[in-house]
Structure 1
Amino acid sequence: MAAKIVNSRKSTDSNGSGDGSQLFQYKFIFLGSHHKASLFEKLCESVDKYEQHVQYPDIWYLYLTVDGTECIIELNDPGLTHTGAREMAIRKADAIILCYSAISVASFHQLSSIAEDFRLRKGFKHPPVRIICNEDDVVEEDIETASVAEQSSSEGYESEDGSKIMKKRPSMEKILEAHEQNRITTEQGETMAKLFGPDCEFHSFPVSQFTESRKMLEDIIRIVNEKNPAKVKQIKKERRKSKERSSSVHSAKISPTNSIKSEPSSASDTAAISRRSSIVKKLIKQIKKERRKSKERSSSVHSAKISPTNSIKSEPSSASDTAAISHRSSIVKKLSLKKGNSTVCTIS
C-alpha cells in the first residue's frame, strides 16, 4: 500500500493545519502484550515529535525526517483480540512491529495466534515485519503466589481465628527460576517469524538497553519506499520542487512593482547597471519624443484640406525618422537584456 501524503505536521488527526509542508504518511501496526510498553517509550523518545490522536487513544503519530524527507508514522495498536478493526488495520498497514517478552510464554503464544491474519492480506503483498523479543528480566508473579492453607482440626482443638493463618509466597529466587525454565528461546522466536511472511525479521535484545529505535524506523520506511516505486517517484518530485523553490528565493529579489532584479555581485556591477539605466531612460525619452512628433505630422496630413489649384501635401515622417526610432529601440533592447543585470523596462 502506498503511503499517503498530508499537508501538515501539526494536526493530530493528520488532516493538516495549513503550513504547506509535504509530509509522507506511513501506517504502522504495533502489536504485543503489555511488555511492549518499554519499546513504545523508546520509539517515542527517538523521533523528532510524537503526539496522541485526539479521539482514539490507541493511535499515535511519530514525526521524523528520513533521507531529507519529512515523514509521519501513524502507530496503531488495534489489540490482540480478533476484531474487524484489527483485520482492517492489518490489511492497510505499511509495516508491522510485534513485541513479546522472552520470559512470558503467554505473550509469545498471543503473537503466534495472529499470524493467520497476516496471511489473509489481499493482493498477497508482504509488508515489512519486525518481531522484537524483549530479554529484560521483568519479574511478574504470574504463577500461583499464594497457597490456601487448610484449616487444621484435631481432637479437642479448632482454630478460632482463620485470619492469622500465614500465606506462603514464592521467594524472588523461585520466581526468577520459574521464568528461566519457561524462557522462550531464540530458535522459537525465529521459527515464529517465518509465519509472518518472507519480509519478517526477528531481533532479540534487552529493550532497556536498545539505542537504535530511530534507525529501525528509518530502515522500515526505506523498505516501504522500495516496495512502492510510485511513492519513491513522488518523493523525488517533491524534493526537486523544494530545491527549486529554495534556489529561487536565494537568487532573486521581488521589487514592489513585481520586477525581478538580479543581485549585484560588486560595486562595479552596481555602477554599470546605473549607467545603463540612465542611457536607457534617455533613449526612451527620445523615442517617445520622435513618436509624438510623428503622430502630430500624421494627424496634420489627415486633417488638412487640399484645394484643386493649390494642393499642399504634408510629407509623412521621413524614412530617416523611422530608421532612427528603430535604431534606438534596438539599442534599448540590447541594453535591457545584456547579462540580465538591468531592470526590464517597458516603453509605453
Structure 2
Amino acid sequence: MREANLRHQVANFQTHVVPIIADIDAGFGNAEATYLLAKKMIEAGACALQIENQVSDEKQCGHQDGKVTVPHEDFVAKIRACRYAFLELGVDDGVIVARTDSLGAGLTKQIAFSAKEGDIGDQYNSFLDCEDIEDAASLNGDVVINRGGKLVRPKRLRSNLFQFRPGTGEDRCVLDCINALQNGADLLWIETEKPHIEQIAGMVDRVRKVIPNAKLVYNNSPSFNWTLNFRQQVFDAWKQAGRDVAAYDRARLMSVEYDETELAAEADEKIRTFQRDAAARAGIFHHLITLPTYHTAALSTDNLAKEYFGDQGMLGYVAGVQRQEIRQGIACVKHQNMAGSDIGDDHKDYFSGEAALKAGGQHNTMNQFAA
C-alpha cells in the first residue's frame, strides 16, 4: 500500500515538471553535438524542440541589436539532427520549431558554401552587402565572391563578421522559413521588433505561396511596448483615414494623459484581440509570452514592499496576497505542500514505517488552510 501510494505521488509530481519545449541555438557546436543535446532533452521529457538560426557565441536576445545568423546548410543540418534524435528514441510526432532572427539580424558569421548559381548558399550570399573591387592590391587577406560573373568584396567588420544589405530582413526571413519547412521543421517562429499583424502576415503570405499550410509560433514579448505600439498603429490608421488627430502627440502616446481617450480604448481593444486576429490573419498557430513570471513577480513584489513598509504594514501582504490565494483557491497558499512535503512524508513512511518523523502532523501550520 505504501509503495503504491509512493508511486502515485512520484508520478503525479513528474507530470508537473516534464518540459514541453527545449531551446537550441543553431550555432551550438556541430550537427552531432546538436543531436546529442536534443537526445538528452527528449529523454528528459521534451516533446518539442526549438532551434534558431543565430550563432551561439554571438547570441543576442531576439529584441536586441547585434544578432548574427548562420548559413542555411548549417541550420538544416541541425534541424535534421533534432529529427534524428526524435526518431531514434521512437518519437514519431516530435515537433521541431524553426526560429529565424533574420528580420533584425544584419550580420552573418560566414559566407555560405555555394556549388552553383541559384543554390541555397548562393541565395544566402546574395543578401551580402558587397562593393566593387577597384584595386586588387588593396585586398590583403580579404575575401571576394563571384556575383553574376563579377568579383565583388563582401563588407567585413573588424569582428570578422559580414554585413547584409540594409532592408533585406523580410526577404531573408521568408527564405529561412521556406527552407526550414522544406527540410523537416513543423512550425515557424519569426522574431519581430514590434507586434504588428500585417507585418507578420505579409511574410507568412509569401511563405504560404510555397507551403500553403505553414503555421507560426509567435512570441507576445514583454520586450515590446504594447501600449505605445498599438496607440501609434491606431494613430496612423486614423490619420490615413483622414480623421482629426490634432489632439494627440504621436511620440508621447504612452503618456497617462491619453489613457481615457477614444484612441487608447481602440488600441486596448486591438491588444485584447491580438491573439485571435493574428491567428486568423497571420496563421499564428501558437502564442506564447516570454518572461511573464519575471515581470509579474517584480511588479507584485514592488507593490507589496510599498504597502508592507508603508501604512498598511502586514495587512499589505495578508489582504493583497494571502487572502486572495485563499479566496481564489490558489494551491501555493500551502507552500510546504507545493515544495514536496507530502512526497517527503511518503518517502519517510515507505523507508521507516511507524518510526517515520513526518512533517504533516497536527502541528503543521499548513493545516490552518484546510478547506
User: Structure 2 length as normaliser, TM-score?
Assistant: 0.28
Instruction: Specify which structure has the higher proportion of strand.
Output: 1
